[in-house]
Structure 1
Amino acid sequence: MKKDPIKYLLIIGMVVTAALLVGQWSDFQDRRKAPVIKEETTLSAPMQELVATTEVAPSDDDIPTVEAAAPTVQSQTQQLISVETDTLSLKIDTQGGDIVYAALPLHYAVLNEPDNPFVLLNQTANHTYVAQSGLVGTHGTDKSGQRPIFATAATHYALSQGDDTLIVDLVYQQGSVGITKRFTFTRGSYVVDLRYLIDNRSDANWHANLYAQLKRDSQPVITDVGIGLNPYLGAALTTADEKYRKVDFEEMAETRGGVKVDVDGGWVALVQHYFISAWIPASDTRNSFNLRKANTNDMYFAGFTTPALTVAPGSQGEIAAQFYAGPKDVDTLEGLAPYLDLTVDYGWLWWIAKPLFAFLQWIYGFIGNWGWSIIVLTIIIKAIFFPLSAASYKSMAKMRKLGPLMQDLKERYGDDRQKMSAELMKMYKKEKVNPMGGCLPILIQMPVFIALYWVLMESVELRHTPFLGWIDDLSVKDPYFILPILMGATMFVQFRLNPTPPDPTQAKVMQMMPIVMTFMFMWFPAGLVLYWVANNAISIVQQYVITKQIENADTAK
Structure 2
Amino acid sequence: MDDQNKNLILASILSLLVIIIWTVLFPAAETDLPADTVTTTASAPAGDTALTPGSAGGEVSTETTAPAEPLPESAARVAVETPSVTGSISLRGGRLDELALNNYRESLDPGAEIVTLLNPTGSASPYYALFGWAPGTGLNSDSVPGANTLWSVESGETLTPESPVTLLWENGQGLTFRREISVDAKYMFTIRQTVENTGDAAPVLAPYGIIARHGEPADLKNFFILHEGAVQMADGELNEIDYDDFEGAGNHTPLKVATNGWTGFTDHYWMTTLIPRGETGFDLSTFQDPRRNIYQTTVKQPAITLEPGQTAEATTQLFAGAKEWETIRNYQNKGGVDKFLDSIDWGWFFFLTKPIFALLHWLNQQIGNMGWSIIALTLIIKLVLLPLAYKSYVSMAKMKELQPQMEKIKERAGDDRQALQKEMMALYKKEKVNPASGCLPILLQIPIFFSLYKVIFVTLELRHAPWIGWIRDLSAPDPSSLYNLWGLLPWNAPEPGSLLALIFIGILPLLLGISMWLQQKLNPAPTDPTQKMVFAWMPWIFMFMLGSFASGLVVYWIANNTITFTQQYAIMRSQGYKPDVFGNIKSGFKRTRKTDDKK
> Same fold by TM (over 0.5)?
yes
1:531 Cα offset (Å) = 1.8
1:517 Cα offset (Å) = 2.6
Give the aligned CA root-mean-square deviation in angstroms: 3.8
Q: For 1:316 and 1:76, how far apart are their aligned partners in 2?
A: 32
Partner of 2:560: 535
1:436 Cα offset (Å) = 0.8
- Does 1:521 find its partner at 2:546? yes
Partner of 1:182: 180
1:437 Cα offset (Å) = 0.8
1:467 Cα offset (Å) = 1.6
Q: How does 1:192-207 map to 2 (within 5 A)?
A: 192-207=189-204
Residue 399 to residue 213, structure 1, CA distance change in 2 (3 Å)? farther
Structure 1 length normalisation: TM-score?
Answer: 0.83
- Tell me, yes or no, if the aligned pair for 2:208 and 2:298 is still in contact at 8 Å: yes
Q: For 2:427 and 2:538, how far apart are their aligned partners in 1?
A: 29
- Among candidates 63, 74, 79, match of residue 75 of structure 2: 79
Partner of 2:415: 415
1:384-417 deviations in whole A, cap 9, x for unaligned?
2212121221121122122223333333445343
- Does 1:191 find its partner at 2:216? no
Residue 418 to residue 290, structure 1, CA distance change in 2 (3 Å)? farther
**Equivalent residue of 1:238, what SS?**
strand
Residue 216 to residue 514, structure 1, CA distance change in 2 (3 Å)? farther
- Tell me, yes or no, if the aligned pair for 2:179 and 2:192 is still in contact at 8 Å: yes
Structure 2 length normalisation: TM-score?
Answer: 0.78
1:301 Cα offset (Å) = 1.8
**Equivalent residue of 2:536, what SS?**
helix
Q: For 2:362 and 2:213, how far apart are their aligned partners in 1?
A: 37
Q: For 1:116 and 1:229, how far apart are their aligned partners in 2?
A: 28
Partner of 1:50: none
Q: For 1:11 and 1:372, how far apart are their aligned partners in 2?
A: 27
Letter in 2 for 1:427: L
- Tell me, yes or no, if the aligned pair for 1:132 and 1:213 is still in contact at 8 Å: yes
Which 4+ runs in 1 deviate beyond 6 A? 8-19, 32-35, 68-76, 142-146
Q: For 2:262 and 2:42, how far apart are their aligned partners in 1?
A: 27
Q: For 1:471 and 1:147, how far apart are their aligned partners in 2?
A: 47
- Tell me, yes or no, if the aligned pair for 2:101 and 2:114 is still in contact at 8 Å: yes
Residue 530 to residue 218, structure 1, CA distance change in 2 (3 Å)? farther
Q: For 1:314 and 1:74, how far apart are their aligned partners in 2?
A: 32
- Tell me, yes or no, if the aligned pair for 1:168 and 1:184 is still in contact at 8 Å: yes
Residue 254 to residue 444, structure 1, CA distance change in 2 (3 Å)? farther
Q: For 2:574 and 2:293, how far apart are their aligned partners in 1?
A: 65
Question: Which one is further off, 122-131 or 360-369?
Answer: 122-131
- Does 1:281 find its partner at 2:276? yes
Q: For 1:65 and 1:132, how far apart are their aligned partners in 2?
A: 15
- Among candidates 487, 499, 512, match of residue 512 of structure 2: 487
- Among candidates 128, 131, 135, match of residue 130 of structure 1: 128
- Among candidates 212, 215, 220, match of residue 209 of structure 2: 212
**Equivalent residue of 1:149, what SS?**
coil
Letter in 2 for 1:62: L
1:273 Cα offset (Å) = 2.0
Partner of 1:245: 239
Residue 19 to residue 476, structure 1, CA distance change in 2 (3 Å)? closer
Q: For 1:297 and 1:396, how far apart are their aligned partners in 2?
A: 63
Residue 212 to residue 310, structure 1, CA distance change in 2 (3 Å)? same
**Equivalent residue of 1:499, what SS?**
coil
Q: State the aligned residue count.
A: 533
Q: How does 1:98-113 map to 2 (within 5 A)?
A: 98-111=95-108
Residue 234 to residue 57, structure 1, CA distance change in 2 (3 Å)? closer
Residue 83 to residue 466, structure 1, CA distance change in 2 (3 Å)? same
Q: For 2:16 and 2:553, how far apart are their aligned partners in 1?
A: 26
- Among candidates 298, 315, 320, match of residue 325 of structure 1: 320
- Tell me, yes or no, if the aligned pair for 1:288 and 1:304 is still in contact at 8 Å: yes
- Tell me, yes or no, if the aligned pair for 1:211 and 1:306 is still in contact at 8 Å: yes
- Tell me, yes or no, if the aligned pair for 2:286 and 2:296 is still in contact at 8 Å: yes
Residue 254 to residue 531, structure 1, CA distance change in 2 (3 Å)? farther
1:346-393 deviations in whole A, cap 9, x for unaligned?
223323333333333333332222222222222122122212121221
Residue 405 to residue 41, structure 1, CA distance change in 2 (3 Å)? farther
Question: Which one is further off, 108-117 or 390-399?
Answer: 108-117
Q: For 1:79 and 1:501, how far apart are their aligned partners in 2?
A: 75
- Tell me, yes or no, if the aligned pair for 2:270 and 2:323 is still in contact at 8 Å: yes
Q: How does 1:217-232 map to 2 (within 5 A)?
A: 217=214, 219-220=216-217, 222=219, 230-232=225-227
Partner of 1:302: 297
1:223 Cα offset (Å) = 7.5
1:398-457 deviations in whole A, cap 9, x for unaligned?
221222233333334453434433332232222221111112355456545543443333
Partner of 2:24: 23
- Does 1:511 find its partner at 2:532? no
Question: Which one is further off, 545-554 or 196-205?
Answer: 545-554
1:286 Cα offset (Å) = 0.7
Letter in 1 for 2:479: P
Structure 2: gaps of 5 or more residues:
1-5, 481-505, 579-587
**Equivalent residue of 2:127, what SS?**
strand
- Among candidates 159, 162, 166, match of residue 163 of structure 2: 166
Partner of 1:375: 375
Partner of 1:390: 390
Q: How does 1:141-156 map to 2 (within 5 A)?
A: 147-153=147-153
Q: For 1:273 and 1:462, how far apart are their aligned partners in 2?
A: 12
Partner of 1:64: 53
Q: How does 1:462-501 map to 2 (within 5 A)?
A: 462-480=462-480, 481-501=506-526
Question: Which one is further off, 91-100 or 542-551?
Answer: 91-100
1:490 Cα offset (Å) = 1.2
- Tell me, yes or no, if the aligned pair for 1:78 and 1:149 is still in contact at 8 Å: no
Residue 299 to residue 376, structure 1, CA distance change in 2 (3 Å)? same
- Does 1:119 find its partner at 2:108? no
Residue 134 to residue 224, structure 1, CA distance change in 2 (3 Å)? closer
Q: For 2:92 and 2:267, how far apart are their aligned partners in 1?
A: 27
1:288 Cα offset (Å) = 0.9
Letter in 1 for 2:131: S
1:1-38 deviations in whole A, cap 9, x for unaligned?
xxxx99x999998998797466337x547x67977532
Letter in 1 for 2:151: A
Q: How does 1:87-98 map to 2 (within 5 A)?
A: 87-98=84-95
1:224 Cα offset (Å) = 8.6
Q: For 1:549 and 1:505, how far apart are their aligned partners in 2?
A: 32
Letter in 2 for 1:251: D
Partner of 1:402: 402
- Tell me, yes or no, if the aligned pair for 1:66 and 1:136 is still in contact at 8 Å: yes
